[in-house]
Amino acid sequence: MKRPFRTLACTAALGASAFSVPALAADHHQESAHAPDEAHATLIDRARNEIGHARFQQGPTGVLITIELDTPVQSAHGWHGVHLHMIGDCSNEDFTSSGGHINPSSHEHGLLNAEGPDNADLPNIYVHEDGALRAQVFTDRVSLHGEYDAPALLDDNGSALVIHDNQDDHSSQPIGGAGARHVCGVIEASR
Ligand SMILES: [Cu+2]
């Protein structure tokens, strides 16, 4: 059993050294000449207060989303649905300017739906009693620039992260009963 592993390790080492020119740059991402592999969003509430931040890190198989929120609204305590909406526009009062869910796959909504999930679906996130939220969620149904043929968050009209008033039941249509849009953030490329 050891032999195949050694062979693989050897191949990987050779592969790495073939690309590491100059040697000092070997620790840096090889895709540094490509589009940035991170994005971010400043999260605002309906009163237009900046109450948090989201970070989007493109990995080889999906996007890791880190959300940090400190909401001053006591009623925010509890579970909330969070989705990726198709337009990078949080300019109107109820955030409907961010459009519907990113869903070129035309699947139904819901992580627990046999006909789903749509590309925008994510697990619920939890706001604590003091209004704080810290969460990481991962999805392979979107990408930053079209990696692995998943729809791009950073496409021509952008995208938005939307946190809803209620929790998402992950099955009912069209958005799992998540209700109105509580928080919105335009997703922008990080440099
Ligand atoms: Cu939504």
Dump pLDDT digits (tens) for 98-123: 999 999 999 999 999 999 999 999 99
* Burial bucket for residue 76 (CB in 10 Å: 0-12, 13-18, 19+): buried
User: Cβ of 33: how many Cβ atoms within 10 Å?
Assistant: 6
- Cα-to-centroid distance, 110 and ligand 1 (Å): 11
Q: What is the pLDDT of residue 21?
A: 42
What's the half-sphere exposure (Cβ side, CA atoms, 13 Å) at 126?
Answer: 2
Q: Which CATH architecture has domain 34-189?
A: Sandwich (2.60)
Angle subtended at Cα 103 by Cα 109 and Cα 70, rounded to the nearest 5 degrees: 75
Q: What average pLDDT does range 11-34 have in this prediction?
A: 44
- Cα-to-centroid distance, 108 and ligand 1 (Å): 13
- Cα-to-centroid distance, 102 and ligand 1 (Å): 9
- Cα-to-centroid distance, 172 and ligand 1 (Å): 13
Q: What average pLDDT does range 155-175 have in this prediction?
A: 96
* Burial bucket for residue 97 (CB in 10 Å: 0-12, 13-18, 19+): middle
Rg over CA atoms, the chain: 19
- Cα-to-centroid distance, 122 and ligand 1 (Å): 9
- 3-state SS, residue 138: strand
Q: What is the pLDDT of residue 75?
A: 72
- Cα-to-centroid distance, 10 and ligand 1 (Å): 47
Nearest to 145 by CA among 176, 189, 186: 189
Q: What is the pLDDT of residue 35?
A: 65
Nearest to 135 by CA among 173, 88, 81, 85: 81
Which residue matches tokens 């961010």? Answer: 98
The rounded mean pLDDT for the chain is 85
